[in-house]
């Protein structure tokens, strides 16, 4: 892995290290924010939900804006601006007690992610060139390592004072802001020169891309169940922590080998289908219940995500035709964000219904059905594209 890391251009290496640091800073704070709001600040449940919900909406709902700005202003300014804004947002979260100020701080941290996420992915794709799949596999290794390290650092800091956690997280993003401003080479976006609305019409009118995003929404709903369904079923904070650790460690240790194997065995499009199928089948061990079933589910979910992620990121660039790449990433994240919201709502309803009907296996089979349906949709989509390409060459 170290050899592969060194083989990339300096800009890609810097972005990978930055993504690790971004996740360390984010995850040292966010897992403990709800407890701080409800216990330390004694906010009502609806207020806690409002603060957390505003952050999610400000990120998921604004990805398209962030991607559009990245294509027009360049990738570096949006990455720097996003890190700077998150610096202020995290510092504010640790310094204020009133609900209006907390909402503003939460919105700032969310919008910051909407600014730098599409830009980072588009930048990596541009500078990795034909090695995009390999670059995004490494990207996921650094991403998952940050998720592993961040909560542990946050746990130690929060044991002293949550405000200290906020200020240290803000310092991480301040250092990132300075580092990227000084060291990250400028990289122009892939703007078309048309108006914003014209660009949005082009992206939204990219039928193959939109269908791909809709089909992949189900995969995000499935992988997100590490945060929802598995903790609900475990009923134990210790087991929940173990489930997260299993997912992260497997990704860090196995990502590069899994990507190489999938590309050699299946190729890009079939790897996506196989990966989503694995995500769906991951919930079958949970049908049998118990720690072993949930750990098996977490492990197979991690495997499915490892198969999917690099080829998914590469596919978005391919479908964009290397035009408005960050805008495509932005719309993609917005679409799947809405899908996650609806999927989590339906998953929660399914768990409630299963509890009332005394059929605890029902939600797991429903999630498996989602995975099978998404894999079928991806397979049909790939077959249709192959047919169109074959017809165009006759």
pLDDT of 72 > 50? The answer is yes
What would the mean pLDDT of 190-197 be, rounded to a whole number? 81
**Within a domain: residue 160?**
yes
Query: Given 183, 214, 231, which residue is the final one in a domain?
Result: 183
For 235, phi then psi, to 5°, come to 65, 20
User: How many percent of the chain have pLDDT more than 90?
Assistant: 51
* 168, 24 contact by CB (below 8 A): no
What pLDDT is attached to residue 393? 43
Q: Is 187 left (phi over 0), alpha (psi -120 to 50) or beta?
A: beta
Confidence band, pLDDT 50/70/90 cuts, at residue 88: very high
pLDDT tens per residue across span 355-369:
888 888 888 999 999
Q: What is the mean pLDDT of residues 190-218?
A: 88
pLDDT at 12 over 60: yes
The answer to whether 57 touches 88, Cβ cutoff 8 Å, is no
Query: According to the model, what pLDDT value does residue 36 have?
Result: 83
At residue 386, the pLDDT reads 52
Same domain for 200 and 146, yes or no, is no
Last residue of a domain, one of 183, 212, 234: 183
Q: What pLDDT is stored for residue 340 in this prediction? A: 82
User: What is the per-residue pLDDT for 384?
Assistant: 61
Residue 387 has pLDDT above 70, yes or no: no
The answer to whether residue 390 scores a pLDDT higher than 80 is no
Give the C-alpha separation, 217 to 203, whole Å. Answer: 17
Same domain, 123 and 237: no
- Residue-wise pLDDT tens digits, 260-316: 999 999 988 899 999 999 999 999 998 887 888 888 998 999 999 999 999 999 999
Do 233 and 373 have their domain in common? yes
313 assigned to some structural domain: yes
* 392 is a domain residue: no
Concatenated DSSP letters for 335-349?
HHHHHHHHHHHHHHH
- Co-location of 302 and 243 in the same domain: yes
Domain that holds residue 117: 8-183
Domain total of the chain:
2
pLDDT band at 9 (very low <50, low <70, confident <90, very high): confident
Which is it for the CA torsion 240, 247, 279, 139, positive or negative?
positive
298: CB partners within 8 A, 6+ apart: 226, 230, 243, 246, 247
Work out whether the CA dihedral 231, 310, 339, 335 comes out positive or negative. positive
Q: Is residue 393 part of a domain?
A: no
pLDDT-derived band at 383 (thresholds 50, 70, 90) equals low
Inside any domain, residue 190: no
Across the range 63-80, mean pLDDT stands at: 94
Query: 316-335 pLDDT, tens per residue?
Result: 999 998 889 999 999 999 99
Same domain, yes or no: 138 and 201 = no
Q: How confident is the model at residue 237 (pLDDT cuts 50, 70, 90)?
A: low
pLDDT number for residue 290: 80
Per-residue pLDDT band at 166 (split at 50, 70, 90): very high
139: CATH: 1.20.1250.20
- For residue 162, being part of any structural domain is answered with yes
Per-residue pLDDT averaged across 24-39, rounded?
84
For all residues of the chain together, what is the average pLDDT? 87
| Best CA proximity match to 218, nearest among 381, 374, 378 | 374
| pLDDT at residue 236 in the model | 63
Residue 176 and residue 206 in one domain: no
Query: Is residue 229 domain-shared with residue 359, that is, in the same domain?
Result: yes
Q: Which of 183, 214, 246 is the last residue of a domain?
A: 183
In-domain check, residue 44: yes
pTM reported for the whole predicted model? 0.87
In terms of phi and psi (left: phi > 0; alpha: psi -120 to 50; beta: otherwise), the region of 186 is beta
> Within this chain, do residues 144 and 82 fall inside the same structural domain, yes or no?
yes
Say yes or no: 226 and 319 in one domain.
yes
Clarify whether residues 201 and 296 are in a common domain: yes
Whether residue 14 is found in the same domain as residue 143: yes
Same domain, 220 and 134: no
Mean pLDDT of 55-68: 88
Residue 257 lies in a domain: yes
> Quick one: pLDDT at residue 389?
46
Separation in Å, CA 85 to CA 78, 105, 144, 376:
10, 10, 23, 41
Q: Is the pLDDT of residue 143 over 80?
A: yes
Residue 266: phi, psi to the nearest 5? -120, -25
């Amino acid at each position: 892995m170290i050899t592969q890391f060194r083989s990339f251009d300096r800009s890609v290496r810097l972005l990978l290290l930055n993504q690790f640091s971004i996740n360390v800073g984010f995850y040292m704070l966010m897992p403990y924010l709800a407890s701080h709001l409800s216990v330390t600040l004694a906010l009502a449940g609806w207020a806690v939900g409002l603060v957390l919900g505003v952050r999610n909406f400000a990120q998921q709902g604004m990805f398209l804006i962030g991607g559009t700005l990245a294509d027009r202003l360049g990738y570096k300014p949006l990455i720097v601006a996003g890190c700077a804004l998150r610096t202020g947002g995290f510092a504010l979260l640790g310094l204020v007690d009133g609900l209006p100020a907390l909402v503003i701080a939460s919105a700032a941290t969310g919008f910051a992610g909407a600014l730098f996420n599409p830009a980072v992915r588009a930048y990596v794709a541009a500078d990795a060139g034909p090695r995009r799949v390999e670059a995004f596999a490494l990207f996921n290794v650094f991403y998952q390592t940050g998720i592993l390290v961040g909560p542990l650092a946050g746990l130690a800091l929060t044991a002293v004072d949550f405000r200290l956690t906020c200020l240290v997280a803000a310092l991480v993003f301040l250092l990132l802001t300075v580092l990227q401003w000084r060291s990250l080479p400028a990289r122009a976006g892939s703007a078309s020169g048309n108006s914003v609305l014209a660009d949005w019409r082009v992206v939204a009118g990219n039928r193959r891309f939109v269908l791909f995003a809709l089909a992949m929404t189900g995969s995000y709903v499935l992988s997100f169940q590490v945060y929802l369904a598995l903790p609900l079923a475990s009923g134990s904070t210790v087991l929940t922590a173990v489930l997260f650790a299993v997912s992260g460690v497997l990704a860090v240790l196995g990502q590069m080998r899994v990507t190489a194997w999938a590309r050699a065995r299946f190729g890009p499009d079939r790897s996506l289908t196989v990966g989503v199928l694995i995500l769906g089948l991951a919930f079958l061990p949970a049908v049998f219940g118990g720690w072993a079933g949930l750990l098996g589910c977490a492990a197979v979910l991690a495997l499915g995500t490892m198969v999917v992620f690099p080829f998914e990121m590469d596919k978005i660039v391919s479908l964009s035709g290397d035009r408005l790449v960050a805008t495509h990433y932005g719309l993609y994240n917005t679409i799947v964000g809405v899908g996650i919201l609806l999927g989590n709502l339906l998953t929660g309803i399914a768990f409630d219904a299963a509890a009332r009907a005394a059929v605890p296996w029902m939600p797991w089979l429903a999630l498996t059905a989602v995975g099978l349906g998404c894999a079928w949709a991806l397979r049909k989509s790939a077959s249709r594209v192959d047919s169109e390409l074959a017809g165009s060459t006759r």
